[in-house]
Structures are given as C-alpha cells and as structure tokens.
C-alpha cells in the first residue's frame, strides 16, 4: 500500500468529510479569503448566517476565533489553533485547542485546506477529519455538504470580485 499526503488509512477515511471545488481564481486569492479576517467575514457562514467576528493569528500555534451568528442573533463561536500554514498552498487548523495549546472541552475536528494551482484557477479541497465516526456522522447530519458547499460558492463569488 502506498503512503503519502493523498493516501488516507481506513481508520481516518471513515472519520473524514471532503469537499473539492475548482474555483475560477488564482490560489493566492482563495488563500487570502481564508486568512484575511475582513474577507473571511464576507463568505464564511452559509447565508442567512453571518460572521461578525474573525480573529485570525495565521501562523503555526496561532489561535483563531470565528463567530457565526444565526438568523435569531445567537452566536456560535468556533475557536481553534493553526497547526500548519504554507502560504497559498495549505492551512491546517483544529478545534482541539482554543488558544496557546489550551485544550478545548470537546475536540470535534481538524480541517486541512489545500489550494492547488489549476492553470490560474484553484483546486480548493477542504478535508474535515473528526475525532470519532459519531462526530463525522453528526457533522454530516448537520448539513456538512450543503453548508460547506454553499460557503464554497460564496467564497468563489467573493474571490471573483477581489
């Protein structure tokens, strides 16, 4: 069996959800939309949700706090820590920590984002790895494919304008 970044053992793949899109913009723009707080606020939450807060310390070990607000005004904070940052290529972040290596109360996922050049367009892949199969199933039932898909559409629309 081969190994490498694209080979996922079954023990991981049964806990993973993946979304891939070709976005008609260079990867620098797509990466910037993930790392510039003002841009992230414009596309991150699936409408009619909004993103009033985006605090991003984009470096390995840096913390992030993204708050989504539902249509009733309830805030849904999403704290995390960046594990890996490769400019314009890859971001890895997790909610296993809330800041400065302080463990979260309930780790749920690690997000691996890749931005691959496709001749001036971007192959955008979001891999979301969950701690348990039950967490993955719960995320799927919460609407992962629809929600992350809608956000990818919003991301694509934003980077077409910037």
Q: Distance between CA 39 and CA 35 in Å, rounded?
A: 8
Beta partners for residue 56, in sequence order: 64
pLDDT 10s digits, 101-121: 899 999 999 999 999 999 999
Q: Is the CB of residue 33 less than 8 Å from the CB of residue 44? A: no
Q: Is the CB of residue 127 less than 8 Å from the CB of residue 116? A: no
18-161 — its CATH code? 3.30.530.20
pLDDT 10s digits, 34-71: 999 999 999 999 999 999 999 999 999 999 999 999 99
Q: Please tell me whether residue 50 adopts helix, strand or coil conformation.
A: strand
**How is residue 62 written in tokens?**
């840096």
């Amino acid at each position: 069996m081969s190994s490498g970044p694209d080979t996922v053992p079954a023990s991981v793949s049964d806990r993973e959800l993946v979304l891939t899109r070709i976005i008609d913009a260079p990867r620098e723009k797509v990466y910037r939309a993930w790392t510039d707080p003002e841009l992230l606020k414009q596309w991150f939450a699936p409408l009619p949700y909004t993103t009033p807060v985006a605090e991003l310390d984009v470096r390995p070990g840096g913390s992030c706090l993204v708050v989504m607000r539902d249509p009733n005004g309830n805030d849904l904070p999403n704290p995390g820590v960046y594990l890996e940052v490769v400019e314009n290529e890859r971001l890895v972040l997790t909610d296993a920590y809330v800041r400065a290596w302080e463990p979260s109360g309930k780790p749920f996922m690690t997000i691996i984002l890749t931005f691959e050049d496709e001749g001036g367009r971007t192959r955008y892949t979001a891999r979301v790895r969950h701690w348990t199969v039950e967490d993955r199933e719960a995320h799927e039932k919460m609407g992962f494919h629809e929600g992350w898909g809608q956000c990818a559409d919003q991301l694509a629309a934003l980077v077409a304008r910037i």
